[in-house]
Structure 1
Amino acid sequence: MTDNTNTPYIGPEEVLRKKKEYLIPCVYHFYNQPMQLVKGEMQYLYDSTGKKYLDCFAGVSVVNCGHCHPEITKAICDQVTTLQHTCTIYLTQNIVNLAERLAQITPGRLQKTFFCASGTEANEGAALLASIYTGKHEFISLRQGLHGRTKLTMSLTGLSLWRTDTTPVGGISFAPNAYCYRCPYSKRHPECDLACANEIETVIKTTTSGQVAALIAEPVQGNGGIITPPPGYFKRVKEILDKYNILLIIDEVQTGFGRTGKMFAIEHYGVEPDIMTMAKALANGTPVGAFTSRAEIADKYTRPGASTLGGNPVTATAALATLDVITKNDLPAQAAELGQYLKNGLSELQKKHPIIGDIRGLGLMLGAEMVNPDKSPAPQKLDAILEQMKDRGFLIGKNGPDRNVMAFQPPLVITHDDIDNLLNNLADVLTAVA
């Protein structure tokens, strides 16, 4: 096959050869026998041989509206031919319109936004804003959280797999996450009385100097294994933080823009963040990042700041078009309904296949943890499952500290038929692997 310029595709073997020769080896890939992806169309991807795949990972929660959505693509193309780039030192309309739109849809009193180019930058900027506002410089993060690849955000990350910096930033304390399936206290919800949340106060008292600017947390931990806190968790956390005048930074990089059945996942918990970060699905694949805050916090950031590519005309146009598609088609409600449909189907599979130890998540952000009979993680079995599902035309993610959680984060435009097809094939593969 060829691309749209009639240039032949080089194929996965040649891509792998060039990757090994020219890319830094930390850039890894899925599958023992990977394919070369060349085309995307809504919930589907195509490889260099023309084979079609149902995308069940959406580029890790990025293309919530689907690959190459025609309305978003048209808006991008129209903007590229009009004004492709200016920095924030010049006035343009799209960036302020996007900031206004975010103020309208984000929770509570969040109002003022800084745009950048990635989720990592957004989390770095949010931490900086927290320090500027509070005059404090320590942070608390959660175990199994992932917040970025820069020195600070990697240091805020609670997954050893992603902590490759051998000299991490100091002044960061880690609290237990709400991992109910493997509770560190061997308790069960609700009898536990949210012991994991209560432990945050102990961390503040014992492992910090009392100069904590903020706690940063994902409402649902994506790379941590789709860890989904129980109801009431974040309200308890916010009560503790408010007692010590500590800000709450909510990282919605993976969870935002309809993914969990609401526009933002923190809305499930009825808590207003002090600062919130976004990226990924905000522009449906166009590189973007943003952090937003209440006016009284944001207005403390007065010294000059800029992002060369943040909120540029094309990115802002892509984001505005994406938000139009999400709201016009009520994709959060669609994610809630289809997510429950998928979760019900996975629960039926769990009854027949004890390798599925736990099913968790919200909306179309679901995780199925693969375990051995003794409940120990089963990453090798998951790899075998994912490889066979890929061969059948389904691309599913994996995450968790032991890489044993099957991650379902598809475009929110999938259908019931897509899910039925996915579940039927997964049932066959689970039987074969068992």
Structure 2
Amino acid sequence: MVSLTILNCNAMARRFSALAALPRLDFLPKEYTGPSFKQTESIKSEKFPPAVFNIYKKPLLLHQGFMQWLFDHEGKRYLDLIGGIVTVSVGHCHPKVTSALHKQIDTLWHTTNIYRHPKIYEYIEKLTEKFPGDLKVVYLVNSGTEANDLAILLAKTYTGNNDVISLQSSYHGYSSALMGLTASQSYRLPLAVPPGFYHAMLPDPFRGIWGGCRDSHSQVPGACSCPGDCVTSDKYVHQLHELLANSIPAGRVAALFAESIQGVNGTVQFPKGYLRKASELIKKHGGLYVADEVQSGFGRTGDAFWGFETHGAMPDIVTLAKGIGNGFPMAAVVTTKEIAAAHARASYFNTFGGNPMAAAVGKAVLEVIEEENLQENCKVTGKYFIERLMELQKKYSILGDVRGKGLMLGLELVEPGTKTPLAATDVAEIAEAVKEMGVLLGRGGRFNNVLRIKPPMCIGKQDVDFAVSVLDEAFGIFMKNTKK
């Protein structure tokens, strides 16, 4: 298997001579012993739901990971720049996290929170230290969908109101209850949704009608450069005010849900000042501000541990998932004592939330972020990454927008010289080429034309150089073959 890995890397280097050197890795994957690729094809086609589709023409069969690297069944190494959809925060199979899990598995797996066990107390104490103000009460659950569903319940219970607002093109989970909160056609089925969900105009500096400037090293070409709040923020907030004034009964709004940076929608950032002003407006109307930090939390944006902190906004409820467990299935809702007290009108129970294994993993993840200074790495490496991507933008006219903060970045691909989204089939071809050269990216956005870059937070500048050289090669091949 070792020789096969080396052969694959050498073959790739010969085929794509312009690529930067694959960063050295003193780690050898185990030999693959699972079902053959052909067997997985058969099982998937017969026994997996068709909604779970292949994202590549030639699907990947992955069997091992180490930090920012993944290995397929043939031993080929891939730089993981999507981190299991922004879930692997500190690195695949991080030694400290896996050690904490092994130790806990050998001690106590499960009790539910009807009993006390030490790890849940140790973890909650450490997690709440990361939050400002009165955000000190923690519900431990199992997924982002469950966390956002619980946040809706808390907001409605506390305010006594029923109407909830999210932003257009947002994604907040996939369940019958959240089908109305999620405002992305890709995830909406033609079914009736629970009443009381509304979608405010998306304040998008690239595609929004007023544009705007954002908290990023990269701005939309021709954007304003406001020293403080962006001048467009008031215009977008006015649209939110109009929604409240026309569509929602006076004083009946329960909450505004917003990500600090939209994840699934292709790393959309808001004009500076928008989120603070929008949350203040909602609170004036009797509602709560729920910060969805499922993708942008845990230091990923670099300047702060939580994305909402970079907006100067103070949420009433925060939802967490994905990177919270570095891939272990866990999530959380963090709120105030006052809001949680309203929930005590009925009992609450969660079978697996905060189980000993999850609590041990969550605590270890927080420790690794601190000990390895990963928030600072997100800031420094993220700045270097976006600057390298901005260089590519000058070279290739299909790069309509480069955006993001820290290690939460996006490349929106367009028809040259326009804002017309590049066809999803073309984007897929580019992503396929990038994969063949050893880099894994995500795709997203309303038109599925955004390459999403949200890697494990341990990547370094050598990884960035390799990734940029791969993107450079892939864009160059595409432009040459299509004569764009």
Q: Same fold (TM over 0.5)?
A: yes
Q: Within the alignment, does 1:194 sit opposite 2:237 as a pair? A: no
In structure 2, the partner of 1:383 is: 428
When the two chains are superposed, the root-mean-square deviation of aligned CA atoms in Å is 1.8
Distance 1:17 1:222 in 2: 32
TM-superposition CA deviations, 1:186-233 (whole Å, max 9, x none): 676534243122211111111112311101111100001111112211
Distance 2:425 2:55 in 1: 13
* Structure 1 contact 154–165 (Cα < 8 Å) conserved: no
TM-score (norm 2): 0.87
The alpha-carbon distance between structure 1 residues 239 and 402, as it changes in their structure 2 partners (threshold 3 A), is same
Cross-structure match for 1:300: 342
Matched, 1:230 2:256: no
Are 2:455 and 1:410 aligned?
Answer: yes
Q: Measure the CA separation in 1 of the matches of 2:195 and 2:83.
A: 34
1:316 is aligned to 359
Residue number in structure 1 paired with 2:219: none
Q: Match for residue 246 of structure 1?
A: 287
Q: Distance in 2 between matches of 1:176 and 1:108?
A: 29
CA distance in 1, matches of 2:365, 2:190: 35
| Secondary structure at the counterpart of residue 339 of structure 2 | helix
Tell me, in whole angstroms, the C-alpha distance in 2 between the residues paired with 1:394 and 1:6.
21
**How far off its partner does 1:185 sit?**
4.4
Q: TM-score, normalised by structure 1?
A: 0.97
1:207 aligns with 2:251: no
- Whole-Å separation in 2 of the counterparts to 1:161 and 1:37: 26
User: What is the alpha-carbon distance in structure 2 between the residues aligned to residue 7 and residue 39 of structure 1?
Assistant: 9
How has the CA–CA distance of structure 1 residues 5 and 191 changed in structure 2, closer, same or farther, with 3 Å as cutoff? closer
Cα contact 1:278–1:289 (8 A) shared by 2? yes
The 1-side partners of 2:128 and 2:79 are apart by 34
CA distance in 2, matches of 1:193, 1:414: 34
- C-alpha offsets along residues 139-171 of structure 1, whole Å, 9 cap, x if unaligned? 111001101111122210010101125111111
Give 3-state SS (helix, strand or coil) of 1:151's partner: coil
1:277 aligned residue: 319
Residue number in structure 1 paired with 2:11: none
Contact 2:298/2:305 (<8 A) preserved: yes
Structure 1 stretches of 4+ with a deviation exceeding 2 A read: 4-14, 184-194
Q: Which residue of 2 aligns with 1:287?
A: 329
The alignment-based identity, stated in percent, is 36
Please tell me the residue identity of whatever aligns with 2:409: L
Q: How do residues 5-404 of structure 1 correspond to structure 2 at under 5 angstroms?
A: 8-164=33-189, 166-185=191-210, 189=224, 190-210=230-250, 211-261=252-302, 262-302=304-344, 303-373=346-416, 374-378=418-422, 379-404=424-449
Deviation at 1:328, TM superposition (A): 1.3
Q: 1: distance between equivalents of 2:97 and 2:289?
A: 33
Map Cα deviations across residues 78-103 of structure 1 (whole Å, 9 max, x no partner).
00010011111111111122222221
Output one character per residue of 1:84-130: Cα deviation in whole Å (capped at 9) or x when no partner: 11111111111122222221102332010111100000000000000
Structure 2 Cα separation of the partners of residues 271 and 193 of structure 1: 14
8 Å CA contact 1:371–1:377 kept in 2: the answer is yes
Deviates further, 240-249 or 8-17: 8-17
Q: CA deviation at 1:8?
A: 2.7
Aligned length: 434
Q: What residue in structure 2 maps to residue 431 of structure 1?
A: 476
